[in-house]
A and B are shown apart, each in its own frame.
Chain A
Amino acid sequence: MDIVVCVKQIPDPAAPQSFDGSNNLDRSGKLILDEADTYGVEMALQLVESTGGGEVSVVSMGSANDVSGVRSALAMGAARATVVSDESLRGSDALTTAKVLAAAIRRHPFDLVLAATESSDGYTGTMPVQLAELLSLPSVTFAKAVAIEGTTLRVQRQTELGYDEVTAPLPALVTLTAGVVEPRYASFKGIMAAKSKPIEVLSVADLGIGGPVGAAGAREAVVAIDAAEARQAGEKYVDEGDGAERIVAFLESIKVL
């Protein structure tokens, strides 16, 4: 069972975000592995173990100047990484990203592609399904549990009312909701081993992608960026045993009670 996990290096979500001069998210600072992707890496490692071996690889698009986020996935246990890095990709939209990752994934055989439901920085949330369509794969999104039975994938897919049991033949693509597995911490041994694991860096030319990419290929444009209407802070009290009473009084004042 060979599993490819799509991962993204993002600016630390705890740090303030801003736009660069081209209205793209400023990514000039330190980049980390999106925590949303750690569930995919963990799930892939568990599935490979439970199905009797195989390889977990990660694929990513972004700057190759700083690959410490990708190394974090290798330190968890992934065997190798592919990073597509090209100045021309700056400003790419989700569909271009899917085209790039599809081209990178096609270079090696695989049984399953895993991704997060959305990234924590851009949170567009359409790239994985676009990728499935480009790779002609069935997809099961919003998975809360994944099992492999022979060549069949069995997924619990989140719904508004609970979940659906969904099956699909392999190869397939699955997106995982957060919290479905507990991502392992990289061990010291894992961190040391990751330093010598292969990271293949590819350009757009290496992948033979036709047509414009990056900002030139994006077919959406920002018209304006404005400050949103701000909310005002109301009253704040330190609880001295009267907190519950104050909440009840407030709920009465707005006629919820």
Chain B
Amino acid sequence: MDSAPIWVLAEPAEGTFTTTSLELLSHARGLSSEVAAITWGAGGALAAPAGEYGATTLYDVGDLGGALPGVPVAAAIAGLIERGGAPRAILIPSSYDGRDVAGRLSARLDRPVLTNATGLSDDGGLVTEHPVFGGSLLVRARFSAEGPGIVVVRAKSFSAEASGGAPASVVAAPPGELGTTNAAAIVAHHVEERTGPQLEEAAVVVSGGRGLGEAPAYSLIEELAGLLHGAAGASRAIVDAGWVPYSRQVGQTGKTVKPTVYIACGISGATQHMVGMKGSKNIVAVNKDPDAPIFQIADLGIVGDVHTVLPALIERLRAR
């Protein structure tokens, strides 16, 4: 195994790291004997989970004082590289803040980024995998110039497995002086009411598309998801139409989900959507159009109107 270090951006979340961060730490262990995590906010308190998932060092950027993480965290990573040398690669979760850090860091270091990676292996050099054209093709890519390469990895690409390592040693990594680029500040958090699991973590995902006809019909999707203890998702078409927020979008420009079962309702199956859900263990599709591409990947396809099938399904589930 290579001893050149691999750094992982580990986003803090409620006393530990986000699931995608843990997935990246777990996978990095297999690529390097020296894995470091970079985090902020809670910092030192996360030495235990960082070590448990394989990091020997935890770089702590510290309290961001309300700033969005992109600028200060990228500056801190650039500072570490200037002072102590570059890692072999920097792995970053494909999240809102992760993508900010990746973009800032890339421009700051003048180093390339490979995004939407779903695989990373060592083949005499790091090779990334990227599904394209609706997941029908798999592109393998590598960095062709001086590192460190920055790789932005989608959720659920690897499994999170604890290694039982000792707590990581914590090293302060302050961002330094930043000026006006760091002037974007969070003034309030708004938590929208949500019951049930997060989209990327749910064992059951029920998604709605244009076939629902109109925005209020999305309540059928939410009700069905609730009855199955799952999460509600959406196709790009209804996000673009403003029916539901971007955080619900499943697909190439949205989230990747791999639930036990994915129930696609009124979704035709554009390549843009398929790439985000074809890794599901089981797929059920309900669509009026018998030729909808979604049926080509569905384990169970119901050619029918979502406005009759879904209420009937909801009634049956309620009666159980």
| A residues in contact (CB < 8 Å) with B | 13, 17, 23, 35-36, 93-95, 98, 117-118, 120, 123-134, 136-142, 144, 156-169, 172, 177-180, 182, 218-228, 230-231, 233-239, 241, 243-248, 250-251, 254, 256-257
Using known A-B contacts A129-B100, A218-B112, A233-B297, determine if residue A179 contacts B241 with beta carbons closer than 8 Å. Answer: yes
Q: Indicate if B48 sits at the interface (CB-CB under 8 A).
A: no
Interface centre among B137, B263, B305, B310 (most CB of A within 10 A): B137
- Closest CB in chain A relative to B307 CB, distance in Å: 11
29 examples of A-B residue contacts, CB within 8 angstroms: A17-B132, A94-B112, A94-B113, A118-B253, A126-B106, A131-B107, A136-B181, A141-B96, A142-B246, A156-B190, A157-B96, A159-B189, A162-B191, A164-B190, A177-B239, A220-B114, A220-B141, A220-B144, A223-B140, A227-B138, A231-B278, A233-B296, A234-B298, A237-B303, A239-B302, A244-B312, A248-B317, A256-B261, A257-B228
- Closest CB in chain A relative to B248 CB, distance in Å: 10
Check B112 against A222 for contact (C-beta < 8 Å).
no
Q: In the bound complex, how far is the Cα of B187 from the Cα of A126, in angstroms? A: 25
**Chain B residue at minimal CB-CB distance from A251:** B261
Contacts of B309 in A (CB 8 A): 239, 243-244, 247
Q: Within the complex, which residue of B133, B242, B300 is in contact with A234, where a contact is CB–CB below 8 Å? A: B300
Check B246 against A158 for contact (C-beta < 8 Å).
yes
| B residues in contact (CB < 8 Å) with A | 68, 70-71, 74, 95-96, 99-100, 102-104, 106-108, 110-116, 123, 127, 131-133, 135-145, 149, 152, 179-192, 194, 198, 203-204, 228, 236, 239-243, 245-247, 252-253, 260-261, 263, 270-272, 278, 281-284, 286, 290, 295-305, 308-310, 312-313, 315-317, 320
- Closest CB in chain A relative to B213 CB, distance in Å: 17
**Chain B residue at minimal CB-CB distance from A234:** B299
**Chain A residue at minimal CB-CB distance from B310:** A244
**Chain A residue at minimal CB-CB distance from B230:** A256
Contacts of A179 in B (CB 8 A): 239-243, 245-246
Q: In the bound complex, how far is the Cα of B119 from the Cα of A228, in angstroms? A: 13
Check A126 against B152 for contact (C-beta < 8 Å).
yes
Check B181 against A132 for contact (C-beta < 8 Å).
yes
Check A233 against B313 for contact (C-beta < 8 Å).
no
Using known A-B contacts A95-B110, A166-B68, A233-B297, determine if residue A129 contacts B103 with beta carbons closer than 8 Å. Answer: yes
